[in-house]
Each structure stands twice: as C-alpha cells, then as structure tokens.
C-alpha cells in the first residue's frame, strides 16, 4: 500500500482579504495540538464570498486560522472526525441530525463523528440555537465541509495512485479505485499531515433522492450515555475544590435592597457572603451549608407597586409604547373589503404568560484562573452568555469562555446567562469554583416568560365564503407568523409593542403559537358564520399548495368529514406556516359532563419541512410539540400579583402529564426537492386552535383566551 | 449525635458525614458524585430524582438520607450489569424516546419498579403509574411504548 502522499494538498482555494469580524483565539498550531494532525476544513460565512477571489494561499506555521467561519471539520490521522459548531443540543436532537449530515457527505459511520458544540473557545462564533435555524443554515455548512474533506481525500489518493479523481469512490471511510481495486482508508491518507482547506458555501451536495444516511432514522446519538446516567448536564458538572452557591432573591421584581445583616451567615465555617449592590449571594462547601447561610441573611427590601394578573389584558391594551417604529402592514382597502362582504365579525383573543419550565433549571459552574473566567452552563446562546459575562465583569471577550454541555432543554427559555453571571460573581469573591443550580421556584420566578398578549381580529366574508377584508392587531405577544397565508385582498396587520409587566422573551415558535391560536380560531368562527365546513372554508381561501397539502393530509388521516364524532365529542382543525414549515393539526376532544374537564382524545398532525433529515426524530419533535402545546392551550398560566409570582411550583403550575397526552398520529410530507427547514418549533402552532375549535364543535362554546380551560369548560 | 450515615448504593457501601435530614438526592449528587439522579423540582413533583429503595421507586429529593441508612438503594448508575443494559434502558434506546433526556433517569427507575410488581402492565396502567413524572419535552407516548417493550422483552427472557 502506497501511503506516501508527498505533495501537499492545496490548502485553500480562497484567500480571506477582509479582517475578521469576530475574535477567534485558537492559532493553527494549537488547533492541531488540540485535535492532532490531519485535515481540517473551514466553512466560510456566506457574506464573505463576495470579497474573495480564487487563488492559492498557504499559511505559515503558527498563523491564525481564518476567523470568519461558521464551522469546521477535522479528520484525524486515526480517521476520527471532529466537527466544531456553535450550535447546541437542547433536546431537539440536532447533534444526531448534524452527525447524519456529515456522515452522508463524508461517507463515514455516524459513530466515528464527534460534534464539539457550544464551547466558545473551541468553536466558531454563533448567534445561538433558536428560530429553527440550525437545520437550514448549519446542516448545509457541515455537509459542505464534509464534502470538501471527501474531495480532498480523493485528491490525495488520486495523486498517489496517478489515477483520475473522478473515477475514485469514497465509501465507508476509505477511497477505492474500482479499476485497480486499490483501497486506502481515510486514516492512512491523513497520516502525518497538517492540511488546511477553506471552502465557500457553494460546493455541490448529494441530492436528497440519493441520501443514504440522511433521510433515514438514526436514534439519539448520545442515547446510551443518557439511559445510563453518564451524560453530564450543566447541573452535573463538578470541579475540584468547588463551592456551592445560593442567591438571595428579592421579595418582588425590581425591589431595592435597603439593608443587609450578614454577620450570622458569615460566622458559618467556610461561608463567603457576597454583597454587591442588589446582588447578595453565598458560597459554601456544600449545598446544605449554602442553604443555611442563605437563611441566616437578614435583608430589607423596598418594593414598588406593579400590575397584577387580573388586570393584565386591560393593561396591555392601555400601555402601548409610543414613538416606537410601527410594525404595520397593509394591502388594499379595508373600507372596500368590508363593503364587499355580506358577513362581518370581530373578536378578541387573549394569551397568558406561560413558563418554559425546562426540567433542568438554570445551572452554572464558574471558575476563575489568571483573570479569566470559564462558565459551564445551560444556554441556547453560549456566545451571548460570553458577552453577558464580559460585560458584567468588564472583561475582554477572550477572557471569557462558556461551555455548554447538552442540556436539559430550553424551548427558547434559556437565551440568557443569569446563573453563569451569578456563579461567576460568587466564584470571584470566594476564590474557588462555584456551582449554582437554580431551584424550581427560582426558575419559575426569575427566568423570563412567553409574552402575554391581546389579539383583535375583524374580517368580512362574502355570502359564499370568500374573505374580503382582514384586520389584525397583536398587542405584546409578538409578530412571528402575524400574517395570514390565506388569500385576502384587503388587509391591515399591526403589532403593538407594550412595556411588559413581567420579564418576557422567546418561547418555542415565538408568537407563532399565539397568532395561530387567534387566526385559526377566528377562521373557525368565520366558517361557522358562513355556514361552511371549517376545512372547506380554509381551502376556499387558500392557494398555497403546500399548506393545502398539509391540511388535506391531516384531514384525510384524521377522517375529517367522514367519521362523525360521538355525542359530546368534537373535531377541530387548524394549521399554518412559519419558519419555512407547514403544519396542519386535527384534534378530537370531549368534555366531561360532570367535571367539565377537556380531554384530548386523539391528534393528527401533518408537517412539511422540506426534505426530511431524520423521520423518527422529526416525529418525536412533532409529538412532543403537540404534548407541550396542550399545556399552553388548556391550563398553563403564570399567575402574578404586585411583583410576585403566585404559582412558582409544579404543584401549582400545571404542565402536561401522562394522562394529558393523547395518541398522536404524525403525517410527514417529505419533499425531496425542498431544502430542509427546522422542525423544533412550528409543529406546536396548530394544537391550541385545533383543540379550541374541537371544543366549540363539541359544546358550542367558543373559548378565546389561552389557557382555554384551566378549571374546565 | 453522629452525622455519619452508612449507605448501600448499587451494591457498594458508602459512609457519608452529613446531617441525617439532608436529602438523599443532594448526598447522591453532591457528596458521592452520582449525578444520574436529577434535580427537577426538589418537591417530589416531577420524578426526575427517582431511585429505587429496596426495589420500590422513591423520590430522593424529599427523602432524608437518615431514613435510608443501610437500606439497598439503586440509582440509574446501578442498572447496567457487566456492560448489559437493563431491559428498560434498552427499550428507551430502541423506542428512541429521548429529546433532552433530563427526565429519563427518573422515568427508567420508576418503570423498573413498576415491572417488578407488575410484569405486564397495560398502556393505561403504565401512564397511571408514571403520572407523577414530568417530561417537559412531551415524549410521553414513547415512554409508554418503551415500558411496554421492556415488559415484553423481560417476559421473553423469563419464558
């Protein structure tokens, strides 16, 4: 076997001419020291391509790697593949599907691929893992990197064999020449090399119709570590000499500390008390001592009056922020649209604040060394948390490292780094690493919420069921998926920003769930007004082929229009489009005549997110989104009064449990010709309106406020 | 009074010097670094901390360590035997249950406890038995399917 490939691979096809935007502190030599020799491929950011010219460029030893990259891939001398990306695994099983993407293009077993994710010292800058962006953006990048590495390997083999590279085949971690029957493993090809290649985002990829690894089920790649308890979540990290922290929380939001007596706490052996402005915390040798020390602090706070939950919806309407750029969209003429209509309707829908309640609360371990801080923490934005730490401690970004072990979920609720900043402040004072795990009550109280909102909709419909006018106002909940996919000639759509009484932020699908609840409930009301079947009414006003297909696929699987519901049961349908995915959900519900509790009997969801990357994980996401969505639909709501959360415990804040979870059938619409979209969010948007519409069908009662039936119908 | 408690965990004896009122979960995680049992609520409401005490599921977060001295405790780390997963662990993999996986350890421990006393539960019985557990990712149907699968595979082994 000839493994003497003396000529170096052309290291890069493109030279970076611009100075990098982002700091990246891993010089070339360190990179190979860190991962060993081999081949490394960088994915350049798309926006750089315009400023580049083709050319050959070889780096001198020790020179920095290209800095404006999205991801990189390293193939070691042992044939192991390491892929570095700033995306993180939060339960959406993206580690698994990104692994499939690399395995597909590089022709290696998924088990030989290691993904290094969300470690700010080791991976390229990334905005964060949200907005269902990983599949549409990172998947193609990693595929390109893997494809470029494969081409490089083919090139090395072709050169050694003096063969035509076009005739060589990459498969199962080796390059083979079908003519001469020669074969060489990737490991042999990379031995003794330190080759660098940078690729633009234009390399051709294997079409979905020819996928061998993508498009097929692959079980969660870290599954065994999880079922054995070996996987270390952020809250499981332990460092030598580590102390345990606790934070003294104010009695109400925004309260000011007026006095603190810490003598008793400070007298406890091993306890450090930190008092810095409104921040008060303790660090202690174990969590029990930390709790005792916290209890021994005597503090007085000054609170200010704040809005309460019982006035929430009036408050939102009355407190629209003035002077903000208006988020308004209008087409046609509402006057004309309403004049053309035979039927008119106006309704208001409300949406409560809800909590993400990830089962792993916020947690962090922070350690200081030589003026630099490292935080292991659960977040969807490791680089965002790095920025928070840098700002909080007045440090340059390269003095902060954030490491994100695959965490116990987020659902949009862990974009921020509170626990990391708090742990770092305690660790700084205690001169030891400190671990801080928020209690459930803290997570319910001091995280942030899915925004509450008021949505007003009015419309006009002709006697034969064509919508002629549509006016839609969303107060506070957000503008994601605010516009209808239906064909309506005259529209006014406006989002009104409000100063929220509670801290609020992202939640799975953002406002798409709220906007779909309002829109799809209202569509049902319009159908009823026009005396039309809800599915027929939607289809009459809809030309978008993919949304039509989704509605019809769900309806067919469900038996819409064929089977008649049992007495006391009702059917509902709803759907929509967001983040490049189409969803349609049908639900059957019944209301218990005695308890008035709603029971979801069964659910069918059809989903179209383009070419399916991993059908089984996709089904899992869709099932999970429906089950999670049942909570927001029926009973989840944060209750608050004058700066306090009144239900910060699972005993008071009801989340869906086994008895709430209906049988869910999933219909995947697999479009091989469409670039895959993300799927972690959009499947949640159909369930609430489908349930609401089904409750109406069962009882004649229209419920217009989320949650619809916390105490029954 | 001595604070030393002797614990028998996964067949191994441990001596811990903690107040007997300390929660078993905290001792497992913080003193013994057995972190497979998870903190989810600290109030016995979510099940993430579940261990087996003499074979029966127990919420370790609300169990004082002094109450379980010298009693056999099994945690998720103790289910695998000589590299072979327990049937319930294997079934969780085969049904590809997990999203974030944070509730998994507790779900598995309670399911192991269930199958000990009820080797062939129906789907409704499984759901009822696991009602005290929260999977915020909503993988409930897959968990039920995994427990059914485990029950079947354990019966096949027995017969």
Which tens digits make up the pLDDT trace of A70-120?
678 999 988 899 999 999 999 999 999 999 999 999 999 999 999 999 999
Subunit contact A90:B104, Cβ cutoff 8 A: no
Q: Tell me what the mean pLDDT of segment A205-210 comes to.
A: 94
CB atoms within 10 A of CB A439: 21
For A368, half-sphere exposure in the C-beta direction (CA atoms, 13 angstrom radius) is 19
**DSSP H helical ranges for A71-138:** 94-106
Q: Tell me what the mean pLDDT of segment A515-532 comes to.
A: 98
Subunit contact A657:B96, Cβ cutoff 8 A: no
pLDDT of res. A618? 98
pLDDT of res. A28? 54
Subunit contact B138:A228, Cβ cutoff 8 A: no
Q: Comparing A195-209, A373-387, A507-521, which segment has the lowest mean pLDDT?
A: A195-209
**DSSP H helical ranges for A530-679:** 534-540, 545-558, 615-634
pLDDT of res. B158? 87
Structure tokens at A43: 């994915």
Q: What is the pLDDT of residues A479-502, one digit of tens each?
A: 999 999 999 999 999 999 999 999
Q: What is the pLDDT of residues A651-695, one digit of tens each?
A: 999 999 999 999 999 999 999 999 999 999 999 999 999 999 999
CATH of span A319-353+449-706: 3.30.365.10
> Residue A359 is nearest to which of B42, B46, B132, comparing CB atoms?
B46
CATH 3.30.70.1070, applies to A235-303+362-437: no
Cα of A216 to nearest chain B Cα, Å:
13
Q: What is the pLDDT of residues A604-623, one digit of tens each?
A: 999 999 999 999 999 999 99
Query: Which residues in chain B touch residue A436, judged by CB atoms under 8 angstroms apart?
Result: none
Q: What kind of fold does domain B87-158 have according to CATH? A: DNA polymerase; domain 1 (1.10.150)
Identical fold for domains A28-227 and A319-353+449-706, yes or no, is yes
> Residue A220 is nearest to which of B36, B43, B96, comparing CB atoms?
B96
pLDDT of res. A68? 59
Task: Tell whether A359 is within 8 A of chain B (Cβ).
Answer: yes
Q: Comparing A150-159, A536-545, A569-578, A579-588, which segment has the lowest mean pLDDT?
A: A150-159
Contacting residues for B46 by C-beta, under 8 A, at least 6 apart = A359, A440, A650, B40, B103, B106, B132, B133, B134
Task: Tell whether A605 is within 8 A of chain B (Cβ).
Answer: no
Q: Which CATH number fits domain B4-77: 3.40.109.10, 3.10.20.30, 3.50.50.60, 3.70.10.10?
A: 3.10.20.30
**CA separation for the pair A642, A278 (Å, rounded):** 19
pLDDT of res. A203? 60
Task: Tell whether A360 is within 8 A of chain B (Cβ).
Answer: yes
In Å, the largest CA–CA distance within chain B is 51
Which value does ipTM take for this structure?
0.98
Q: What is the pLDDT of residues A278-321, one digit of tens each?
A: 999 999 999 999 999 999 999 999 999 999 999 999 999 999 98
CB atoms within 10 A of CB A605: 31
Q: Is B128 exposed, middle or buried (0-12, 13-18, 19+ CB in 10 A)?
A: middle
Contacting residues for A185 by C-beta, under 8 A, at least 6 apart = A79, A173, A174
Q: What is the pLDDT of residues A4-52, one digit of tens each?
A: 322 333 222 222 223 333 334 444 556 677 777 888 887 766 544 333 3
Instruction: Flag whether pLDDT at A238 surpasses 70.
Output: yes
CATH class of the region A28-227: alpha beta
Going from the C-alpha of A308 to that of each of A313, A351, A502, A516, A579, the distances in angstroms are 10, 15, 10, 26, 33
Could you say which DSSP state residue A8 is in? Answer: P
Confidence of residue A324 (pLDDT cuts 50, 70, 90): low
Q: Where are the domains of chain B?
A: 4-77, 87-158
Q: Give residues 78 to 107 of B whose Cβ lies within 8 Å of A.
A: 79-80, 85, 89-90, 92-94, 96, 98-105
Task: Tell whether A680 is within 8 A of chain B (Cβ).
Answer: no
Query: Which residues in chain A touch residue B45, judged by CB atoms under 8 angstroms apart?
Result: 440, 649-651
What residue ranges of chain B have pLDDT lower than 50? 1
Could you say which DSSP state residue A54 is in? Answer: B
Q: Which residue of A has its CA nearest to B100?
A: A91
pLDDT of res. A630? 98
Q: Where are the domains of chain A?
A: 28-227, 235-303+362-437, 319-353+449-706
Q: Comparing A179-193, A257-271, A624-638, which segment has the lowest mean pLDDT?
A: A179-193
pTM check: above 0.90:
yes
Q: What is the pLDDT of residues A410-423, one digit of tens each?
A: 999 999 999 999 99
> Residue B35 is nearest to which of A232, A288, A361, comparing CB atoms?
A232
């Amino acid at each position: 076997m000839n493994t003497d490939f003396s000529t170096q691979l052309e290291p890069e096809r493109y030279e970076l001419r611009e100075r990098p935007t982002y700091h990246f502190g891993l010089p070339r030599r360190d990179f190979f020291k860190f991962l060993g020799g081999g081949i490394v491929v960088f994915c350049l950011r798309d926006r750089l391509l315009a400023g580049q010219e083709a050319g050959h460029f070889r780096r001198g030893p020790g020179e920095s790697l290209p800095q404006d990259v999205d991801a990189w891939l390293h193939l070691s001398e042992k044939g192991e593949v390491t892929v570095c990306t700033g995306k993180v695994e939060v339960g959406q099983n993206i580690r698994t599907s990104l692994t499939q993407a690399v395995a597909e293009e590089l022709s290696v077993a998924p088990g030989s691929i290691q993904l290094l994710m969300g470690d700010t010292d080791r991976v390229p800058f990334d905005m964060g893992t949200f907005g269902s962006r990983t599949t549409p953006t990172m998947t193609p990048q990693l595929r390109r990197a893997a494809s470029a590495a494969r081409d490089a390997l083919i090139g090395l083999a072709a050169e050694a064999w003096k063969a035509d590279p076009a005739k060589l085949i990459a498969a199962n971690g080796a390059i083979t020449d079908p003519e001469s029957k020669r074969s060489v493993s990737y490991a042999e090809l990379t031995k003794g090399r330190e080759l660098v290649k940078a690729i633009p985002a234009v390399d051709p990829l294997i079409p979905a119709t020819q996928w061998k690894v993508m498009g097929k089920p692959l079980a969660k790649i870290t599954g065994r570590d999880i079922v054995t308890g070996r996987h270390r979540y952020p809250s499981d990290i332990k460092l030598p000499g580590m102390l345990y922290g606790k934070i003294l929380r104010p009695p109400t939001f925004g309260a000011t500390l007026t006095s603190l007596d810490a003598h008793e706490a400070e007298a406890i052996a091993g306890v450090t008390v930190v008092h810095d402005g409104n921040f008060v915390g303790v660090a202690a040798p174990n969590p029990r001592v930390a709790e005792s020390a916290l209890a021994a602090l005597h503090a007085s706070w000054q609170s200010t009056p704040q809005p309460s939950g019982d006035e929430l919806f009036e408050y939102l309407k009355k407190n629209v922020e003035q002077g903000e750029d208006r988020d308004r969209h209008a087409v046609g003429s509402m006057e004309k649209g309403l004049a053309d209509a035979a039927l008119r309707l106006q309704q208001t829908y409300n949406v409560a604040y809800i909590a993400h309640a990830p089962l792993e609360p916020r947690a962090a371990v922070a350690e200081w060394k030589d003026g630099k801080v490292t935080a292991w923490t659960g977040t969807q934005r490791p680089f965002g948390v790095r920025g928070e730490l840098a700002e909080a401690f007045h440090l340059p970004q390269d003095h902060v490292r954030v490491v994100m072990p695959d965490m116990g979920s987020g659902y949009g609720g862990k974009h921020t780094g509170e626990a990391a900043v708090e742990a770092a402040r305690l660790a700084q004072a205690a001169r030891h690493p400190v671990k801080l795990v928020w209690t459930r009550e803290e997570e319910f109280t001091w995280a942030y919420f899915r925004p509450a909102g008021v949505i007003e909709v009015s419309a006009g419909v002709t006697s034969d069921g064509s919508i002629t006018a549509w006016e839609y106002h969303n107060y506070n909940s957000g503008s994601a998926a605010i516009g209808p996919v239906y064909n309506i000639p005259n529209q006014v759509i406006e989002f009104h920003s409000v100063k929220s009484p509670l801290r609020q932020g992202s939640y799975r699908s953002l406002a798409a769930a709220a906007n779909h609840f309002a829109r799809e409930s209202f569509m049902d009301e319009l159908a009823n007004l026009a005396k039309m079947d809800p599915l027929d009414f939607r289809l009459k006003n809809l030309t978008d082929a993919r949304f039509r297909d989704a509605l019809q696929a769900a309806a067919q699987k469900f038996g819409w229009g064929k089977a008649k519901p049992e007495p006391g049961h009702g059917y509902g349908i709803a759907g929509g489009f967001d983040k490049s995915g189409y969803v349609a959900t049908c639900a059957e519900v019944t209301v218990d005549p005695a308890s008035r509790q709603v029971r979801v009997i069964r659910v069918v969801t059809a989903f179209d997110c383009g070419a399916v990357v991993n059908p089984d994980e996709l089904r899992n996401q869709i099932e999970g989104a429906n089950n999670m969505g049942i909570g927001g639909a029926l009973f989840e709501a944060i209750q608050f009064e004058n700066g306090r959360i009144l239900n910060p415990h699972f005993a008071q804040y009801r989340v869906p449990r086994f008895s709430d979870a209906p049988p869910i059938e999933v219909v995947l619409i697999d479009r091989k010709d469409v670039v895959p979209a993300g799927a972690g969010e959009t499947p949640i948007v159909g369930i609430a309106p489908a349930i609401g519409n089904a409750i109406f069908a069962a009882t004649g009662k229209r419920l217009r406020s989320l949650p619809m039936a916390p105490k029954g119908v | 009074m001595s604070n030393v408690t002797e614990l028998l965990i996964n067949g191994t004896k441990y001596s811990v010097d903690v107040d007997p009122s300390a929660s078993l979960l905290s001792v497992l995680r913080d003193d013994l670094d057995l972190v497979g049992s998870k903190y989810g609520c600290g109030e016995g409401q979510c099940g993430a901390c579940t261990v087996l005490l003499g074979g029966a599921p127990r919420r370790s977060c609300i169990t004082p360590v002094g109450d379980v001295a010298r009693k056999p405790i099994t945690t998720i780390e103790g289910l695998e035997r000589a590299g072979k997963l327990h049937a319930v662990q294997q079934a969780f993999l085969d049904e590809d249950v997990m999203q974030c996986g944070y509730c998994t350890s507790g779900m598995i421990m309670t399911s192991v406890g269930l199958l000990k006393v009820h080797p062939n539960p129906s789907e409704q019985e499984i759901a009822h038995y696991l009602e005290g557990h929260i999977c915020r990712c909503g993988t409930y149907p897959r968990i039920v399917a995994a427990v059914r699968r485990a029950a079947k595979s354990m019966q096949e082994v027995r017969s």
